[in-house]
Structure 1
């Protein structure tokens, strides 16, 4: 079961598993390499990332602060490029996108998936090759599709009958013939939280395989000379550590490929199985080995297509979280430490759900450590909470921190590189924090932190 899945049951009976506090770790000062950025360590008690003491980062850039380990992120990009050699690797920009990330992707030879006109604008703004961009989205506007056509993006993944007609019209009008894929809802049950499972029929994405909508979408695309159908796309969800669902999805897509060949005499050359691979957030999490995932997916596609009498299509994958998630941490300063006798201690920080809404949104779990020093104090059951006017404003629901934690200490939260900055808001008029990239003992701002002037700009 996913760590995000909350078992049902009688709350007045035995305490449900997700409400029981975790066991205290043997060493509160430990930096687990499976969870923290690859260059993380403790030097003279303080957490360091990219060769830099987090206390220096906090002094120079303030808190809250997103810190991104450049070597970690780039090395994971290279891991994917190597593991999926001969296939297409497109980074899912929704995880975290900025100009500097796009430059790293270009350097490391990966493509990028965008899900809006704004994300497309970021990629194009630094001269990223348009043919290595894939445009996603369940409600692409005419303006977004037009910009994608004019830029010459490599693929557009269509999500509805209306979009097929809209794109076909715009492509003919602009004299373009884009490569398109059909997003297929395969009906695979991904073992993850309801809000990040995306392949069951009762949700907004894609065209259902079971109902015949996907097959009808293929018919409509093939009837439009302005569109070039090149393949099928599937995405079964996010934070998935059990790869069995990908095999089921691949088999169901192969059945549609066979139907397309039999009905239309067309053999589609591409198959995109999406992303959604999980990472380790807490001690019990196990992240899948990328090489094993790559080898497994290739073998799955080869076998299901061979069994179906089809040539093996070119495989594409769309990792996001697994590339940028583990390399990011967030630094906070402790403001208040409030003991709720008999329950736990509430540790209030200078950020919260405005810079990390994932815990409030779908029960995400995180590892937190005292980052500005080591401590030999006993463990204290804690809840790391933000400063927003919401009782659900939690960053870490349950964790253990040293009992001598005090205002002014720095706390670091691991594995926040994915979705935290992307989902950030200005709730309660808090400015969004800066993003700083660290490498080889140097730090540079890659996304400027907001100021109160930024919050007031645009108001009349």
Structure 2
């Protein structure tokens, strides 16, 4: 912005890495998700460097729920990441992706008895969420040849509200310490870690310092009171990407702390809590969104334009909230993929669904786009490919660009045959005879 007004920030995006957008759309159809392997590896290596230059023992565990495409998971596993899963389905995916059982962290509030048994037999790290789960595992442990390795998930007041107290045991009311004492007193479980996940898209580094301090307090009490040293502290995930939240005054690039800032807050707290250098616990991070969001793109095409009753310009796209779930809380950056008019207008971007809630952007200043024009939506790598829906339209291809920008189809577009393969029609409904 200057004294002459606001200059348009719209710039054409013709390539992702070195791959032409028009070529990708021509080969794989519209819409299509595109992931950059180069960016995924860069993000991971930067995050690891940020923590390991500040703390001697660090391990990342890829958050499967953020994006559990096998190709994405295997990139992070090749880089050295463990797996962090929150369901039996994700646990099985991690095993199929070649992750050893003792390198899988099993989180989540719902683990069946059979899933607990499998995780224990595979020597996985089981993070306990509530007392009922603790009691179930204690029963199972009596039948197992070795003690299951467990951690206690802790929720706490970090000064960020509303407090995430749905998951785990509460620190402030003594519930977490109660759970710890029961585990140690039982003799059936091996308490090896403490875990927290204080929220999602967290913009406060101070909150992580508070969380790290409270986990350290519990760990030191375990050592001093229960003679049980804690092997690791898991600070969970929640680091934000640089997407812009709806209603935010400033863009995400200006408000999201860097991974370096989070690393400084967490590691300096742990190192100042009273551990001897030789007993510093392993620090585990379950970072998801911050590693994958900016490596993902959604390419699509303009379907039509129209004027709404109040005179606003509306543009209909061939993708909507069925694919771009995060458009409910982000104002995604959207760029034209080719030449465009420099005349801009505030526009509502709708998807193709026959639903009034199918709004990709409620208001965005864009050039006057025509049917057939192509668009690029930025920073869509987190959650959209796990929370997308088959609704009205089939889900599209997903493409990975490798280090040489060569495209690889990593998930095929759905077909009607695929959609219907699990359906069964009762015999009395086989014939349809319309009058």
TM-score, structure 1 normalization = 0.83
Q: Does 1:438 align with 2:405?
A: no
Select 2:288's aligned residue among 317, 320, 340.
320
- State the match for 2:216 in structure 1: 254
Q: Does 1:425 align with 2:394?
A: no
Moved more, 441-450 or 168-177: 168-177
**C-alpha distance in structure 1 between counterparts of 2:17 and 2:270, whole Å:** 38
Moved more, 285-294 or 378-387: 285-294
Moved more, 335-344 or 76-85: 335-344
Q: Which digits, 9 at most, give the CA deviation of each residue in 1:185-231, with x for residues without a partner?
A: 1122436xx6xxxx533xx2111112221111112211333311012
- State the match for 2:160 in structure 1: 190
- State the match for 1:236 in structure 2: 198
Relative to structure 1, the CA distance from residue 425 to residue 249 in structure 2 (aligned partners, 3 Å threshold; closer, same or farther) is same
8 Å CA contact 1:258–1:310 kept in 2: the answer is no
Q: Which digits, 9 at most, give the CA deviation of each residue in 1:298-344, with x for residues without a partner?
A: 111111345x9995322111110111111001112111212226553
CA RMSD of aligned residues (A): 2.3
Superposed structure 1 runs of 4+ greater than 4 Å apart: 308-311
Deviation at 1:394, TM superposition (A): 1.6
Deviation at 1:135, TM superposition (A): 0.8
**C-alpha distance in structure 2 between counterparts of 1:435 and 1:261, whole Å:** 48
**C-alpha distance in structure 2 between counterparts of 1:161 and 1:422, whole Å:** 29
**C-alpha distance in structure 2 between counterparts of 1:235 and 1:177, whole Å:** 25
User: Which segments of 5 or more consecutive residues in structure 1 lack a partner in the other structure?
Assistant: 1-22, 31-41
- State the match for 1:107 in structure 2: 78
8 Å CA contact 1:63–1:332 kept in 2: the answer is yes
- State the match for 1:170 in structure 2: 140
**C-alpha distance in structure 2 between counterparts of 1:381 and 1:24, whole Å:** 13
**C-alpha distance in structure 1 between counterparts of 2:84 and 2:311, whole Å:** 45
Q: Secondary structure at the match of 1:326?
A: helix
8 Å CA contact 1:348–1:386 kept in 2: the answer is yes
**C-alpha distance in structure 2 between counterparts of 1:309 and 1:264, whole Å:** 21
Q: Which has the larger radius of gyration?
A: 2
Relative to structure 1, the CA distance from residue 298 to residue 345 in structure 2 (aligned partners, 3 Å threshold; closer, same or farther) is same
- State the match for 1:375 in structure 2: 340
- State the match for 2:306 in structure 1: 338
Select 2:150's aligned residue among 155, 180, 199.
180
- State the match for 2:423 in structure 1: 459
**C-alpha distance in structure 2 between counterparts of 1:265 and 1:150, whole Å:** 26
Select 1:158's aligned residue among 128, 132, 140.
128
Select 1:96's aligned residue among 63, 67, 84.
67
Deviation at 1:49, TM superposition (A): 0.9
Q: Secondary structure at the match of 2:386?
A: coil
Q: Secondary structure at the match of 1:392?
A: coil
Within 5 A, what are the aligned runs for 1:199-348?
Answer: 199-201=163-165, 204-282=166-244, 284-286=251-253, 287-305=256-274, 311-340=279-308, 344-348=312-316
8 Å CA contact 2:208–2:265 kept in 1: the answer is no
Q: Which digits, 9 at most, give the CA deviation of each residue in 1:230-263, with x for residues without a partner?
A: 1211111111222111111122223333443454
8 Å CA contact 1:188–1:200 kept in 2: the answer is no
**C-alpha distance in structure 1 between counterparts of 2:76 and 2:147, whole Å:** 26
Q: Which digits, 9 at most, give the CA deviation of each residue in 1:85-120, with x for residues without a partner?
A: 331111211110122122212211111211111111
- State the match for 2:432 in structure 1: none
8 Å CA contact 2:206–2:265 kept in 1: the answer is no
- State the match for 1:387 in structure 2: 352
Deviation at 1:289, TM superposition (A): 2.4
**C-alpha distance in structure 1 between counterparts of 2:187 and 2:50, whole Å:** 36
- State the match for 1:11 in structure 2: none
**C-alpha distance in structure 2 between counterparts of 1:345 and 1:329, whole Å:** 25
Count, aligned residues: 408
Deviation at 1:173, TM superposition (A): 2.0
Deviation at 1:121, TM superposition (A): 1.4
Deviation at 1:433, TM superposition (A): 2.0
**C-alpha distance in structure 1 between counterparts of 2:83 and 2:160, whole Å:** 24
Q: Secondary structure at the match of 1:165?
A: helix
- State the match for 2:427 in structure 1: none
Deviation at 1:367, TM superposition (A): 0.7
Moved more, 411-420 or 165-174: 165-174
Deviation at 1:374, TM superposition (A): 2.3
- State the match for 2:429 in structure 1: none
**C-alpha distance in structure 1 between counterparts of 2:123 and 2:377, whole Å:** 40
Deviation at 1:353, TM superposition (A): 1.5
